[in-house]
Amino acid sequence: MKAYVTLQELDDFGPCKSGYKKLRRKIEFEDAEEVRIPLLLVLETNGMSDLYWLVSMLSLRNPSLVPGIEEAGSEIAGVMICELPGCSACTPEDRRAGLQEVRKILKKLRRD
C-alpha cells in the first residue's frame, strides 16, 4: 500500500516554495526518484493544510493508486474546518481528536 509520495512526484505536483523547503529539510536523499516521503511525515512537518493539498493531488492523479486516499482527504478536510481562524464550532479537544483520526487513517494506509 502506498502511503507515501516520491520526491519526484512531489516536484511534479508543483508545491509551494515554503512548504517544499520545510519538508526537504527533514529528508535526506541522493536520488530524487527513489526518495519516499511518508504522508505522516508531511503531516508532522508541514501540517494539515499541506497534507490536504498533497492528498488532493494524489487523489486527482490516480485515486486507485492509494486505496483509502479519498477517505483520508475527507477526514482531513473536516479537521481543517476547525483550523480556520475564528472557528468557534470546534473545541481544542475536537481538533486533537480530528488530528488523531487523520494519523490513524494515514497509519492504516501504510499497513494495508
Query: What average pLDDT does the chain have?
Result: 76
The CA distances from residue 33 to 9, 11, 29, 46, 97, in Å, are 8, 10, 9, 21, 35
Tens digit of pLDDT for each residue in 58-77?
A: 777 766 656 666 666 677 76
Residue at 55: amino acid letter? V
pTM, entire model? 0.69
Number of domains, the chain: 1
- Per-block mean pLDDT, blocks of 10 residues, the chain (112 long): 79 90 82 77 87 81 64 69 63 76 75 56
> Residue 42 is part of which domain span?
4-111
Rounded CA-CA distance 98/88 in Å is 15
